[in-house]
Amino acid sequence: MRAQTLDVFRAVSDPTRREMLDLLRRGERTASELAEPFDMSQPAASQHLKVLREAGVVRVRKDGRQRIYRLDPAPLREVFEWSQYYERFWKQRLAALGRVLDETT
C-alpha cells in the first residue's frame, strides 16, 4: 500500500468529492460548474478539488481565465488494489485462526 493509494482512498471517501468525480465522468467541467450542485462556496469547492488533484484523480488545464477539470481514472485502480489488501489480509487471518484453534485445547 503506497502513500498515494491512501490519498486516492481519502479522495473518494468523501461524498461530495465522489459526486464531483461522477460529474467529471461525463466530461470536462469548470471549477464553478463543479461547485454549483453542492450549494457551497467557491473556496470550499476549491478545497475538494485540491484533494482530488493531489490524489492525481483529476487534471486541470487553463482556458483563458477558466480552470477546466477532467477525470484521470488511472490512480483509482489503486483503490481496487487497496481493497484487495483486505481480501488477502482476511484470508491469512482465517488461516491463522484455524492454526490457533488446532493449537488450543
Partner 1 sequence: MERALRFEANYPHPPSKVWKVVTTREHLARWLMANDFEPRVGHRFQFRAKPIGGWDGIVSCEVLEIVSERRLVMTWSSNVIDTKLTITLEPDGDGTRFTLVHSGFKGLKPVLTSYLLGMGWKGHVHKAIPALVAQLQSEGRL
> Smallest gap, in angstroms, from Cβ of residue 89 to partner 1?
9
Nearer to partner 1, 42 or 86 (CB): 86
| Crossing angle for the helix pair 15-25 and 3-13, to the nearest 10 degrees | 90
Q: How far is the CB of 65 from partner 1 (least distance, A)?
A: 27
Output phi, psi for 3, to 5 deg: -60, -40
Q: Are 75 and 8 in contact (CB under 8 A)?
A: yes
| CB-nearer residue toward partner 1: 65 or 99 | 99
- Least separation in angstroms between residue 21's CB and partner 1 is 6
